[in-house]
């Protein structure tokens, strides 16, 4: 007997990488092996030297195919088996190892927008729906669009064993969010990429496209982010390390913002629950700050912080690496 392994990897498209996948049929009992692909079709290699290598890094049951079939998230290597330049996971692996004693944990809030016929789901042809105000966590056909897809995606993630902590309808019609975590930097990032693939794949069944565009509609419509909640063991036990983490992030604000997803200046405008991308601030309960300290955390004098800057299209391997490095190097 055989089973199917869907190998998923991140391509080399700039400035925002895309997900690719293909299927390998394996004998029952066989582990998913190293595999290869044509890097010249994924912006990862020239045509005359096109082979790239896939190395499995995370696998889970495939909720789409069911049975014994699996999803296999793979990192991309060159044929010398060193990390490909497009492989951002390898650098995170080093940083996560270096700061493992600090026990960093991340919870990622992935916002996204459904599109159909070239416009967000729920937008009328050639016009705009009623202004924002009732869509966030709304109910009813006049307020929410795509709930069946969202529910199917949530069930699929849970069947796959991913640590999804919740979902909600967002501020713009057709816009939604799911949260992954809290988990270690590598685990949360592997699971987010897998959950993104499942989102695209499930929405395909409904003939709808899911997009991580950080500003899908210009004007008075919320963008889409990937708020990144973060703590170390020390932050989970006391308040001084929380303030120190905010200060450390402030000292490297430019480097972080430049690596938090393409088009970030269109989203971090200082409007729509964001802080201006050129400025850094942190505050308790402040959804207009770069970093929010949740009210409960200020109350308990321990917990975590929320970096509100990362775009929906950010690479979690890059975001969690930068935050871990910046905060843990300052606190050790």
Q: How far is the CB of 147 from ligand ADP (least distance, A)?
A: 18
CA distances from 288 to 104, 132, 279, 323, 332 (A): 25, 17, 11, 20, 30
Question: Who contacts 223 (Cβ-Cβ below 8 Å, separation ≥6)?
Answer: 214, 215, 216, 266, 267, 272, 274, 311, 312
Burial 260-288 (b: 16+ CB within 10 A, else e): bbebbeebbeeebebbebeebebeeebee
241 binds, among ligand ADP, Mn ion, none (CB under 5 to 8 A by kind): none
| Residue 315's binding partner out of ligand ADP, Mn ion, none, with CB under 5 to 8 Å set by partner kind | none
Q: Closer to Mn ion by CB, 168 or 329: give it.
A: 168
Q: Is 177 in the site for Mn ion (CB under 5 A)?
A: yes
In angstroms, what is the minimal distance from the CB of 235 to ligand ADP? 7
Q: Are 89 and 57 in contact (CB under 8 A)?
A: yes
Cβ closer to ligand ADP: 39 or 104? Answer: 104
267 lies in the binding site for Mn ion (CB under 5 A):
no
Query: Would you count residue 307 as binding Mn ion (CB under 5 A)?
Result: no
Q: How many residues make contact with Mn ion (CB under 5 A)? A: 3
For ligand ADP, give the closer residue by CB, 174 or 182: 182
Choose from ligand ADP, Mn ion, none: what does 229 bind? Cβ within 5-8 Å by kind: ligand ADP
The entry of Mn ion, ligand ADP, none near residue 75 (CB within 5 to 8 angstroms by kind) is none
CB atoms within 10 A of CB 153: 25
CB 208 within 8 A of CB 115: yes
Q: Is 227 in the site for Mn ion (CB under 5 A)?
A: yes
Distance from C-alpha of 311 to C-alpha of 55, rounded to nearest angstrom: 27
Rule CB under 6 A: which residues touch ligand ADP? 105-107, 109, 165-166, 179, 181-182, 227, 229-231, 236, 303-304, 306
Q: Which stretch binds Mn ion (CB under 5 A): 78-86, 133-141, 220-228, 231-239?
A: 220-228
Nearest-approach distance from CB 162 to ligand ADP, in angstroms:
12
Q: For Mn ion, which stretch binds (CB under 5 A), given 113-121, 152-160, 169-177, 193-201?
A: 169-177
Q: If binding is defined by CB under 5 A, does position 109 make contact with Mn ion?
A: yes
**CB 223 to Mn ion: min, Å:** 10
3-state secondary structure labels for all residues of 176-239: EEEEEEEECHHHHHHHHHHHHHHHHHHHHCCCCEEECCCCCCCCCCCCCEEEEEEECHHHHHCC
- N-terminal to C-terminal alpha carbon distance within the chain: 52
Nearer to Mn ion, 26 or 224 (CB): 224
Distance CA 180, CA 198 (A): 13
Q: Is 62 in the site for Mn ion (CB under 5 A)?
A: no
Binding segment (CB under 5 A) for Mn ion, from list 40-48, 92-100, 116-124, 177-185: 177-185
Residue nearer to ligand ADP on the CB measure, 191 or 211: 191
Query: Closest distance between ligand ADP and the C-beta of residue 106, in Å?
Result: 6
Whole-angstrom CA distances from 155 to 203, 277, 326 are 13, 35, 35
CA 313 to chain CA centroid, Å, is 7
Asked whether position 6 contacts Mn ion by CB under 5 A, the answer is no
Structural contact between residues 331 and 102, judged by C-beta atoms closer than 8 angstroms: yes
- Residue with structure tokens 């930068």? 322
Please state, in angstroms and rounded to a whole number, the distance separating the CA atoms of residues 10 and 137. 31
- In degrees, to the nearest 5, what angle opens at C-alpha 306 toward C-alphas 305 and 307? 120
Binding range to Mn ion, per CB under 5 A, among 123-131, 174-182, 257-265, 323-331: 174-182
Residue ranges that bind Mn ion, judged by CB under 5 A: 109, 177, 227
């Amino acid at each position: 007997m055989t089973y199917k392994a869907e190998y998923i990897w991140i391509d080399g498209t700039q400035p925002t990488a895309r997900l690719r996948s293909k299927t390998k049929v394996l004998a029952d009992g066989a582990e998913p092996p190293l595999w290869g692909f044509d890097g010249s079709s994924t912006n990862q290699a020239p045509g005359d030297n096109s082979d790239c290598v896939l190395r499995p890094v995370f696998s889970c049951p495939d909720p789409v195919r069911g049975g014994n079939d699996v999803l296999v998230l793979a990192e991309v290597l060159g044929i010398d088996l060193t990390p490909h330049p497009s492989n951002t996971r390898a650098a995170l692996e080093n940083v996560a190892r270096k700061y493992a004693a600090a026990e960093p944990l991340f919870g990622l809030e992935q916002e996204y927008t459904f599109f159909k016929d070239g416009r967000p789901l729920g937008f009328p042809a050639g016009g705009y729906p009623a202004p924002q105000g009732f869509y966030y966590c709304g109910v009813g056909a006049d307020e929410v669009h795509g709930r069946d897809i969202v529910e199917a995606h949530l069930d699929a993630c849970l069947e796959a064993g991913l640590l999804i902590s919740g979902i909600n309808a967002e501020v713009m019609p057709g816009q939604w969010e799911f949260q992954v975590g809290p988990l270690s930097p590598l685990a949360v990032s592997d699971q987010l990429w897998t959950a993104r693939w499942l989102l695209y794949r499930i929405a395909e069944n409904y003939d709808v496209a899911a997009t991580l565009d950080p500003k899908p509609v210009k004007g008075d419509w919320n963008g889409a982010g990937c708020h990144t909640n973060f703590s170390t063991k020390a932050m989970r036990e006391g308040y001084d390390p929380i303030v120190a983490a905010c200060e450390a992030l402030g000292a490297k604000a430019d480097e972080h913002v430049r690596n938090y997803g393409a088009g970030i200046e269109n989203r971090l405008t200082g409007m729509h629950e964001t802080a201006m991308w050129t400025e850094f601030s942190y505050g308790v309960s402040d959804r207009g700050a770069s970093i929010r300290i949740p009210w409960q955390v200020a109350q308990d004098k321990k917990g975590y912080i929320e970096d509100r800057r990362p775009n929906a299209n950010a690479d979690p391997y890059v975001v969690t690496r930068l935050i871990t490095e910046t905060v843990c190097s300052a606190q050790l």
